[in-house]
Amino acid sequence: MNLPWFKRIGIFYVPVSFVGWLILLCSIAYAIYVFIDIDSRSHSVSDTLINFVFNGLIIAAVYSLIAFFASNNRNT
């Protein structure tokens, strides 16, 4: 099944279809939601950033995994 939702440019995946853009926008919206949630419970800027880094890495990893499987640049 060929799902050309993303195109790989360097190490990044760029959306090329509506579904790809929807996935990108949802991941950005979720990252903003997580940041605001962490910020409301933290006591300092460093506390917010330290707690957000792990969540941001997970969001980026899930986005990259979805983009990897939904791009046509795989060598299979």
Task: Report helix, strand or coil for 15.
Answer: strand
Stated length of the chain: 76
Q: Dig out the tokens for 23 from the structure.
A: 């996935």
Parse the chain into domains and list their residue ranges: 6-69
Radius of gyration of the chain (CA): 15
Stretches where the chain sits below pLDDT 50 are none
Is the dihedral angle over the CA atoms 58, 62, 63, 67 positive or is it negative?
A: positive
> For residue 71, what pLDDT is reported?
84
Q: Dig out the tokens for 40 from the structure.
A: 């409301």
pLDDT in tens, 27-47: 999 999 999 999 999 899 999
14 sits in which H/E element: strand 12-15
> For residue 1, what pLDDT is reported?
53
